[in-house]
Amino acid sequence: MPRNQFQRMVFAFITVVITVHAYVFYSIYVVNGDSLRQAVGTTSVLAAVRTIGGIYMFGRVMPVWSVVLVEFCFAYFIECVYGSPLSFRLACKNFDPKTTHPVLFETAIICATVGLMVPAMSLIATFLYYPYNNGFQIHVALVQWLRLMCFNFPFAFFTQLFFIQSFVRTVFKLIFARDIKK
């Protein structure tokens, strides 16, 4: 869909903006919601986050907006440098973009991107959210990384395949309607 480097950067930007917000919400409510509520003794995850004063990151509590910003920076960098280029190459190894139906080829790219980005971002999240106040232990970090990948992979696969990428392609077509018609 994107035809030049600028369009690829815009496509990645839109994707990462939506994806990071979805993941922060997913991580707060689904993955860590019960432990947040139990730690504070509230019935609401949102009330627990307010009571704590934010989300634990870098060994301290930070506001939710800063958590989104930090994750956005990491995700955008990795998507532009690693995720998009490699996923396109992986899809091209299995499918010829000229003869393969566009939906199938896009699906291959999405699957490859999820397969590359989930381990990378889960590893980064492991170090961002590691409980450093207990000291660092490599085996705990490895277990945390595997746990995050198990949580994140199904969420990433289904949201990217069925919701996020469809929406991003629609927005992208609206932004670059003139260029696409050419």
Question: How many beta carbons lie within 10 A of that of residue 36, not counting itself?
Answer: 22
Dump pLDDT digits (tens) for 21-67.
Answer: 999 999 998 888 898 899 889 989 999 999 999 998 988 899 999 99
Below-50 pLDDT ranges, the chain? none
Q: What is the pLDDT of residue 123?
A: 96
With 0-12 / 13-18 / 19 or more C-beta atoms within 10 angstroms meaning exposed / middle / buried, residue 121 is: buried
Q: What is the pLDDT of residue 163?
A: 95
The residues spanned by each domain of the chain are 5-164
pTM attached to this predicted model: 0.89
**Nearest residue to 125 via CA among 72, 165, 86:** 72
- Residue 127, token pair as written in the block: 């170090």
Q: What is the pLDDT of residue 19?
A: 96
| Cross-strand bridge partners of residue 62 | 55
Q: What is the pLDDT of residue 4?
A: 84
Element housing 16 (H / E)? helix 5-26
| Phi and psi based region of residue 137 (left: phi greater than 0; alpha: psi -120 to 50; beta: remaining) | beta
**Nearest residue to 89 via CA among 109, 104, 110:** 109
